[in-house]
Amino acid sequence: MSQWNIESPTTEYYDHNSPGLEAIVREVTATPEVAIDTETTGLVVWKDVPLYWSLAWGNRRMTLNVSVLHYFSEAFADPNKRWIFANAKYDAHILANVGVRIAGKLVDTQVQHALLYEEQSHRLKDMNQHLFGWKWQDFQDTFGKITKLFSPTDLIRRAEAENFALLCEYAANDAWGTLQIYEELRTQLQRAPTHSLFRDHPLNIQTLWDLFDRVEVPYTSALWTTERNGVKVDLGYLESIAPTAVAEIEDLERAICKEAGTVMNPKSTKQLREYFFDKLQVKPLKMSKGGKTGVRNPSVDERFLAHYEDEIPMAKMLLRHRSLAKLHGTYITGLRDRVDPHGRIHTRFNQDVARTGRLSSSDPNMQNIPKPENDKWKLRGAFVAEDGYDLSVVDYEQLEMRLLAAASGEQGMIDVINKGWDIHMGNASMIFGMPYEEIKAAKNTPEDQLTARQHECLAARAAAKNIGFGLIYGMGPKKLAGTLNITEAAANAKISQFKEAYPAVEAFTKEAVAETEQTGYAFTILGRRRNVPEIASHRRDERMRGERIAVNTQIQGSAADVVKMAQILLHKSGIDKRFGARPLLQVHDELMHEIPKDYSAQADVEIREWMEHPFPIDLVVPLGVSGNLGNSWLEAK
DNA sequence: TTAGCGGGCGCG
DNA sequence: AAAGCGCGCCCGCTAA
């Protein structure tokens, strides 16, 4: 039965009784690249297990019973073998859950696809449709919808009993299709030349295939280990704040209904609009985006509420309610429900989502845990080191600004960094001609003792900081004026001063836009590229957005490259074997590790070392890092 | 019941 | 005229 692909070979099936099993084991052991997939009990990486698995190589495809997995231990233990997956980390977790550790390379077709077609879906069946132009029935099309009543296990068990051939065919096809996609994308990646700073250096990245094979493939393994470790949670801490939070939120809800004079749900923007704009006839500050339907409504967001908090009691109450409800819903119950039996949370680090090459984190998202300054319950304190371990938390300091300095070659900014100055203070000093020491003194003076001149110094630093970020993000003068609470004319004047002080930065942004206009792409340091079709749009607003993306992707994407290389080098360094150090989290410019106390000081120094030197050659500016050891995320930062 | 959208907001 | 980049999750609401 070949209902999916008329050119595919016949599907084989093996269990422990199959006479050909030994020959298959020998062949898999000897084959350098093998595609592999699992059919599993579910999607939870620390819990679910395989029910069937499948392999494909050359002109063979087969489904296998889980009972024969251990016959392949030699193949799984081979560090040089390349295992081809669609969603590699997931399958590697599922296999690890039944004791199968993969020593070989985790080669992920979804990551391949993301390097070439970042705007498309990288799901296996969608990649097939996109690359080969035919629709392939997915799991739910084949076996039925996964619902509360029917788990993946139920559906597979049903197919097992009713149509085993279909089950075998489906499973084998996942591995087979993955292999076809791998080979097609390998060719495409090899034919895609790219611009990398490391073209003629040891990394020697000349094509997107080089980038994939030398950077993204080892990165998948580093991330797998990170996900597998998971971060330890102090459940008692979460449990202890939950009831207080609920009580506080309920009190507020009662008070809000009383103030409204009727039963209302403060989480309903619809009801809030009725209250503010129909009942009270308040003037809206702005309209919402509208989205696909194009229906724009007056906004009741935080800025609106803050604007009216002194005049309208309800606004103030809602502000408190919003922040408490967010913390409770997303971070207290949301995290509590995802803790594994060992008290650890295993996020997923998605390597194929962000268009700039950054990671994203999901299930749960560990990259948006509130900062202590915005969090009355200090939830970061709930992420702790295991007994006998320390947490090491190391951040890059102003990584994107440093990369802007390096990419532009702006000597003024490079000097500021080389002097070890605070970048925003240094920039303020350069741009507005104020002595650095004076700004520094102002920053260290208590709020209530500031002189008028010192206020000016602090305003200068804030301006320099926002113009700097604004440059990276493409912020306009209007937005800057709003952020700094100054007039648009004043904002324009400050932007001009910045450009005069740092002409090479201005030239860099122009050059970035010109390159993207010419090639259609924005490139990062390592040669990752992002298609920017907006830059050729006939619509001015789209084109402007394309220009912002052209500049931002170079900086944000290169920052992602830096952290990515640091993670890869750390993974390869043997710091785990020498010191027992475990990677736990990456939060864009920050790495968290868990290290046995006896070695934590030593390992922490080595982590900083790798982070500061992520490339075969150093950049023209140092990459400064800072951080601490501690018992929790709160302590170690 | 489920799926998708919009609004809002947490992080870098 | 207006113009901030990159993510993921919660909730309410509506349609199927």
CA A370 / C1′ C6 distance in Å: 17
Q: Which phi and psi (to 5°) does residue A542 adopt? A: -65, -45
> C7 C1' – A260 CA distance, angstroms?
36
The pLDDT confidence band at residue A291, using thresholds 50, 70 and 90, is: confident
Helices in A378-487 by DSSP H: which ranges?
Answer: 399-408, 411-418, 423-432, 436-443, 452-473, 477-484
Strand partners, A53: A38, A64
Can you give the distance from the CA of residue A140 to the C1' of nucleotide B3 in angstroms?
A: 15
A376 touches strand B (CB under 7 A): no
Positions 147-206 of A with beta carbon below 7 A from strand B are: 147-148
Percent of chain A with pLDDT over 90: 90
Is the Cβ atom of A330 within 7 Å of strand C at any atom?
yes
Query: Which positions 206-235 on chain A have a beta carbon less than 7 angstroms from any atom of strand C?
Result: none
Furthest-apart CA atoms within chain A: distance in Å: 88
Per DSSP, helices labelled H in A145-301 are 152-162, 164-190, 208-211, 217-229, 235-260, 269-273
pLDDT in tens, A73-124: 999 999 999 999 999 999 999 999 999 999 999 999 999 999 999 999 999 9
Would you say the C-beta of A368 is within 7 Å of strand B?
A: yes
A368 touches strand C (CB under 7 A): yes
**Closest-approach nucleotide to residue A362, Cα vs C1':** C8
Rounded, the Å distance between the CA of A132 and C1' of B7 is: 38
Spacing of A175 CA from B6 C1' in Å: 38
Q: Residue A339 has what pLDDT?
A: 94
CA A234 to C1' C8, whole Å: 23
C-alpha pair distances (Å), A539 with each of A452, A521, A544, A545: 46, 18, 9, 10
The reply to whether the CB atom of residue A411 sits less than 7 A from any atom in nucleic acid chain B is no
* CA A145 to C1' C16, whole Å: 16
pLDDT at A3: 47
Residue A68: CB partners within 8 Å, gap ≥ 6? Answer: A14, A15, A16, A18, A21
pLDDT of residue A561: 97
Give the span between the Cα atoms of A390 and A602, in whole angstroms.
12
How confident is the model over A334-388, as pLDDT tens digits? 899 899 999 999 999 999 999 999 999 999 999 999 999 989 999 999 999 999 9
The pLDDT tens digits of the residues spanning A43-55 come to 999 999 999 999 9
| DSSP category for residue A365 | -
pLDDT at A276 over 90: yes
Q: Which nucleotide is nearest to A559 (CA to C1')?
A: B12
Cβ of A325 near strand C (distance < 7 A): yes
Q: Which nucleotide is nearest to A360 (CA to C1')?
A: C7
> How far is the C-alpha of A458 from the C-alpha of A335, rounded, in Å?
38
Residue A335 CB lies within 7 Å of the nucleic strand B: no
Q: pLDDT (tens digit, 9 = 90+) per residue, A492-551?
A: 999 999 999 999 999 999 999 999 999 999 999 999 999 999 999 999 999 999 999 999
Q: Is the pLDDT of residue A296 over 90?
A: no
Check if residue A548 sits with its Cβ under 7 angstroms from strand C. yes
Tell me the nt nearest to A545, Cα to C1'.
Answer: C3
Nearest protein residue, CA measured to C1' of C7: A360
Strand B within 7 A of A265 CB: no
Q: Which nucleotides of C are covered by protein (CB under 7 A)?
A: 1-14
Provide the pLDDT for residue A2.
38
pTM of this structure: 0.96
Query: Is the C-beta of residue A543 closer than 7 Å to nucleic acid chain C?
Result: no
Task: Tell if A549 CB is < 7 Å from nucleic strand C.
Answer: yes
**Which pLDDT belongs to residue A316?**
94
What's the Å distance between residue A138 CA and nucleotide B2 C1'?
19
Name the residue among A449, A425, A450 with its Cα closest to residue A439: A425
- In chain A, positions 270-329 with C-beta closer than 7 Å to nucleic chain B are 288-293, 295-297, 299-303, 305, 322-323, 326
Cβ A524 to strand B below 7 Å: no
| One-character DSSP codes across A86-130 | SSHHHHHHHHHTTT----SEEEEHHHHHHHH-TTS--SHHHHHHH
| pLDDT at res. A138 | 86
Half-sphere exposure of A497 (CA within 13 A, CB side): 18
Q: Residue closest to C9, CA→C1'?
A: A330
In strand B, which positions have an atom below 7 A from any protein CB?
A: 1-3, 5-12
List the A269 CA – B8 C1' distance (angstroms).
9
A357 touches strand C (CB under 7 A): no
DSSP character at residue A380: G
Nearest residue to nucleotide C1, by CA–C1' distance, is: A541
Q: Which residue is nearest to nucleotide C5 (CA to C1')?
A: A473
For residue range A112-165, what is the model confidence (pLDDT) as tens digits? 999 999 999 999 999 999 999 888 888 888 888 888 888 899 999 999 999 999
Helices (H), A520-628: 540-573, 575-579, 600-612
pLDDT level of residue A6 (50, 70, 90 thresholds): low
CA–C1' gap, A177 and B11, in angstroms: 37
Alpha-carbon gap, residue A566 to A611, rounded angstroms: 5
A106 touches strand C (CB under 7 A): no
Task: Report if CB A355 to strand C is under 7 Å.
Answer: yes
